[in-house]
Structure 1
């Protein structure tokens, strides 16, 4: 068995010759130093990892271990984020492993045009996320009802519940329509956008219903415009949350099969 296998984080531009090799003070999964494998104009960001821990069989077991997944995902993302500070980077999926550097170079050579196109698409740009939440109506939960005669207690309760449900549904519809309008404006500021399913409140950490979950790929001017639009529309019929800048996972992730 080989002494190590090669864990691939991402593909980026080839660094100048004087900094080829190990990334300064950057550790990846399992605390192993990060380095670059270069071929032509491209570089693969990699680590040499333990072949027993990253064999096909070991990975099958590890991918069912939530603690391992969280720890490895954090390390993987930390490497991508650090390298992205110095240029465009196209991340690959978690736990992508190759037998050796030559196999990685073969990958760079075989898919050079595709990788270069992905890097050019995101060059000088960053990913920003916008989430929109329905604002709870001030009257929501108001038990007052306009009735012509005093209803029975059970009837009053059912009427209150129906009124509250109707009010909540109208508020959610208004927020969804507002979110669509905001998305159209934000898309005009972006090079590209990618919509995701709204998150469950247990994942978002918010009580409000999520009605918008979009990633935008923008340059510096687009980022400024995005911030202004968030400030302009936040708090009307929906609450907006802006996050970023991030490495452009939504627009340059490379799904590889070793």
Structure 2
């Protein structure tokens, strides 16, 4: 039989066994809970042949493997989030055995307690804002003087065009900033992510904002309504709302999970 390790999906507090009942994780393994210091790790066994240090380094370079593992990871977090509060951990957080996983829980107890307090009663919503500069109505320009040389007229047109494009970008950025300000007024907090390349997002146009908002559950409807209203009153922008999600963007810092 292959040696196994412990894969940790996320951290909760006093999660009952029912929170993971029937949930399957990476490689179809049954998910269970592991308690220490009043915290509960959501875990499953994984093969060291696949998740050992060297094997994991190789597997992370294979997109099919990475996609399947990420899908299973997120499915576990989402399933538990529907039944309780969980701080999601990063993909492929693996410990050699239960003792090391419990030791990590003890070492980061205060950090996870703060994270749980921060996300309890709240969920994550994603908002992306796009604009298509090519579809923005061009400004009217003064015609070039009748006696202008063809080369001079061309340079003037190009200069005016660049000026118009820069002005349009500034105006769109201001509009997007206003949208973000209104949503921040509803959300408990907000995290900015790097805008995605159009080839990766599959969306046309310029992604101006890629943000995650942590919203009190009791204000979720206010948040959705605000996004719909802002989308209807800002024709220059295209707003995309996703969620609710488990609060990945607001989880505890994961870099400290190094001694495995």
TM-score by length of structure 2 reads 0.86
Q: What per-residue deviation string (whole Å, max 9, x for no partner) do you get for residues 20-72 of structure 1?
A: 8xx32211111111111122421111111112111111111112222211211
Q: Does 1:37 pair with 2:53?
A: no
Tell me how far apart the structure 2 counterparts of residues 9 and 252 of structure 1 sit (CA, whole Å): 12
Distance 1:157 1:204, change over 3 A: farther
Partner residue, 2:4: 4
How far apart are residue 144 of structure 1 and its match? 8.7
* Corresponding residue pairs, total: 254
Do the aligned residues in 1 keep the contact of 2:190 with 2:212 (CA within 8 Å)? yes
Partner residue, 2:245: 246
Do the aligned residues in 2 keep the contact of 1:174 with 1:237 (CA within 8 Å)? no
2:115 aligned residue (113, 118, 123): 118
Partner residue, 2:230: 233
Question: After superposition, where does 1:59-74 map in structure 2 within 5 Å?
Answer: 59-74=56-71
SS at match of 1:25: coil
Distance 1:155 1:71, change over 3 A: farther
Question: After superposition, where does 1:1-258 map in structure 2 within 5 Å?
Answer: 3-16=3-16, 19=18, 23-136=20-133, 137-140=135-138, 146-149=143-146, 162-234=159-231, 235-255=234-254, 256-257=257-258, 258=260
Distance 1:3 1:174, change over 3 A: same
Q: What per-residue deviation string (whole Å, max 9, x for no partner) do you get for residues 102-144 of structure 1?
A: 222222223222212211110010011111112544434x999
In structure 2, list runs of 5 or more residues that go unmatched.
none
Q: What RMSD in Å do the two structures reach over aligned CA positions?
A: 2.6
Distance 1:254 1:14, change over 3 A: farther
Distance 1:71 1:253, change over 3 A: farther
How far apart are residue 228 of structure 1 and its match? 2.4
Distance 1:157 1:25, change over 3 A: farther
In structure 1, list runs of 5 or more residues that go unmatched.
none
TM-score by length of structure 1 reads 0.86
- Decide which structure has greater strand share: 1
How far apart are residue 156 of structure 1 and its match? 6.9
